[in-house]
Structure 1
Amino acid sequence: EFMEQSEIKVEVDATASSTQVSPQDISITLRPGSEASAIVAVKQLERYPVDLYCLVDVSASMQENLDHLKTVGVALSFRMAEHSSDLWLGFGSFVDKPVSPYINVHSSKIDNPCSDYEIRCRPAHGFHHVLSMTSNMSEFTRVIKRQRISGNMDTPEGGLDAMLQAAVCQRSVGWRPDAKRLLLLMTDQPSHLALDSRLAGIVTPHDGLCHLENNVYTGSTKMDHPSVGLLSDKLLENHMHSIFAVEKQQYQWYEELVRLLPGSYLGKLGFFQAPNLIELVVDAYKVQSTNLPCNLFSPDGPPLGV
């Protein structure tokens, strides 16, 4: 009478229906060391809500490409209507860490890096979150039109630093828990990597956390650039699919990078003209919707890691 022979049970609740994952509720009772199996059917929605965050390098060499972006918002919403029932857009900008030797720290250059060319530029910055996710395409266009270029000294930019903040600062950016999340990085240069910041005396490794105050990245001058491994972890953890839109001269550099970032997509563009950029986003969406390398999405809650 002191012996207990517990049963192995698999109970499926067929009343909880879903258009994506079925069954929704499975209860399993196991003894230590025992096994049980259950069949789960997964189907990706064809017209899933999409959040697209445009993270743009606004260094001086990107002026022409920034101009092309001004016509993208409304056209992209119409094009994506063929694939998604609900597209929201957000926007952020980056240049590089605003410290020497990445920028000229002369007093006349800090506020206006382009003073030598008699052009009014905005100060260099690690990352500015400019527009939270919105379905208002007119507002997106207005924000893009207000953007001005900046400047820095060296060739690589702080793209990976900005990507991590855009991914982990979910409340500020406004990522929706029930949407497919696309993070689009637009640049014409390679990115700084971890340990590069030692040139500026910054030796503290990145902690992988959000450091936005008033939509400005405050950790830019305090922490190193994130490692590729840390960025990969945070993209997976926050269910992000990254899209790299780079000019052809940098294609090979980013081709090596995307191999280390699961769920990423790379496009080669001569110039970021609206039709080319729109097709890049649509193609990336199709690929990510087909492959789903890192997560599934629940219609009733946050994405499900698999």
Structure 2
Amino acid sequence: GEPNERRCDREQALRKRHCSEGQVLNPQPEILSINDLENVRNLGLEVVTAMKNITSAVRIGFGSFVDKVVDPYVSTVEAKLANPCNNKHKGPCQPAFSFKHVLKLTEDVEEFEKKQSISSNLDNPESGFDAIMQAAVCQDDIGWGNVTRDGKLAGIYQPNDGKCHPNSNGLYSKDTDYPSVGHLSQVLSANNIRLIFAVTDQHIQSYEVRNSSVVGLLEDDSSNIVQLIFEAYINLLSSILLDHRDVPPGLGVSYSSHCGDDRLAQGQDRGECSDVRINQQVNFTVTVTSSRCLSKTESFIIKVQGINEELRVTVETLCDCDCQDSEEQSSQCHGNGTFHCGICR
């Protein structure tokens, strides 16, 4: 009956307390290999080769994220800041960071393979939304042609401003809160970016709710990542999403999607057709309703996600009937009367 904490001790101390050899367990550290990182290093050529089977416009870049460099996300002990991996991994381990832009989009696959290195934090890396936001809005640096985790836990109260904030080393240099799912979705749509998430089974449900994205199930050893990216890209190509933004208060927008093959979906929050074939025509009916009289002409944007074109819709509500105007022998009255204030006389 001694306390459990006394049962965990050095082997020599346990022997002095008359523990037999068969009762002493001496586990050894596992030999770990960082499969995901090694796969990332090697998959550049494989991904580019696979993608060139369906498009000639292929470039590859690299950025990485860990977490905000403040307690409680990252240990602020000086030695841990310098080497957060604690020598667990072979090769150098760089200090933690929120997001780092490493390699601009390029056709040079060999350069991609040279750019990866490891870092670490106290819990799961959670600056993914910071990373996506910066990759979306830093157009020149990158080379582009929900519920959010609360940064207030670390004393970060400034909302994410959706702007590009790299320093001279490509590190994200702004102490703002994590962007929300809605804010991120809006920025991605505005920049015509579609995401492919490659995630393991235990996390896949968290990503399936994200708009403007495709989610693929990643094997534990990441062995299927090239096929996953290829299939997700095909899925993106065969899907058409019609969405809107900047809708004034009081206006409602709904969609009816005519996807062919007698497929019709009505009353949708956005237009959506999947499994669209090459040269297949799809049609969308957009319904705009108003719950109030607008004091002035308003407008909003409708666009197809992933395409750099948009349609501005201008709306004016007619709330008063101009009874001074009359139309004799009006077609509204089958040519047999005067149409006045909505009535045939």
TM-score by length of 1: 0.66
Cα distance change of structure 1 residues 102 and 80 upon mapping to structure 2, 3 Å threshold: same
Greater Rg by CA: 2
The 8 Å contact of residues 91 and 129 in structure 1, kept in 2 or not, is answered as yes
Give distance in 2, aligned partners of 1:118 and 1:70: 16
Which residue in the other structure is 2:167 paired with? 213
Q: 1:98·1:126 contact (CA, 8 Å) conserved in 2?
A: yes
SS at match of 1:217: coil
Q: 2:94 matched to 1:122?
A: yes
Quote the offset at 1:108 in angstroms. 0.9
Q: Does 1:295 align with 2:266?
A: no
Aligned to 1:32: none
Native 8 Å contact 2:96 2:120 kept in 1: yes
Quote the residue 1:249 is aligned against: 202
Q: Which deviations, in whole Å up to 9, do the C-alpha atoms of 1:173-232 show, x marking residues without a partner?
A: 0011xxxxxxxxxxxxxxx9536111110011111111112211101xx20000111000
Correspondences of 1:5-154 after superposition (within 5 Å): 63-115=34-86, 117=88, 120-143=92-115, 147-154=116-123
Distance (whole Å) between structure 2 residues aligned to residue 295 and residue 239 of structure 1? 6
Report what 1:234 is aligned to: 187
Letter in 1 for 2:46: A
The sequence identity of aligned pairs, in percent, is 38
The whole-number CA distance in structure 1 between the counterparts of 2:89 and 2:214 is 38
Counterpart for residue 281 of structure 1: 229
Counterpart contact for 1:193–1:226, Cα < 8 Å: no
Find out whether 1:305 has 2:310 as its counterpart.
Answer: yes
5+ unaligned residues in a row in structure 2: which ranges?
A: 1-31, 242-303, 312-345
Q: Cα distance, 1:72 vs. partner?
A: 1.0
Q: What code does the residue aligned with 2:193 have?
A: M
The answer (yes or no) to whether the contact 1:212–1:218 under 8 Å persists in 2 is: yes
Shift of 1:63: 2.7
Secondary structure of the 1:87 match is coil
Measure, in 1, the Cα distance between the counterparts of 2:205 and 2:190: 27
Task: Indicate if the aligned counterparts of 1:113 and 1:152 stay in contact, CA closer than 8 A.
Answer: yes
Maintained 8 Å contact 1:95/1:150: yes
Matched, 1:223 2:176: yes
* 1:266 matched to 2:215: yes
**Deviation, structure 1 residue 272:** 5.2
Q: Is 1:199 paired with 2:153?
A: yes
> Does the aligned pair in 2 maintain the 1:267–1:280 contact within 8 Å?
yes
* CA shift for structure 1 position 86: 2.1
The alignment's C-alpha RMSD in Å is 2.1
- What is the aligned residue count? 216
Instruction: Indicate the structure whose relative CO is greater, using CA pairs within 8 Å and at least 6 residues apart.
Output: 1
Equivalent-residue separation in structure 2 for 1:86 and 1:272 (angstroms): 29
Q: Give unpaired runs (5+ residues) of structure 1.
A: 1-60, 177-191, 298-302
Q: 2:216 aligns to what SS in structure 1?
A: strand
Tell me how far apart the structure 2 counterparts of residues 158 and 231 of structure 1 sit (CA, whole Å): 13
For residues 139 and 117 of structure 1, do their structure 2 counterparts lie closer, same or farther at Cα, with a shift above 3 Å needed?
Answer: closer
After TM superposition, give the deviation of residue 116 of structure 1 in Å: 6.6
Deviation of 1:284 after TM superposition, in Å, equals 1.4
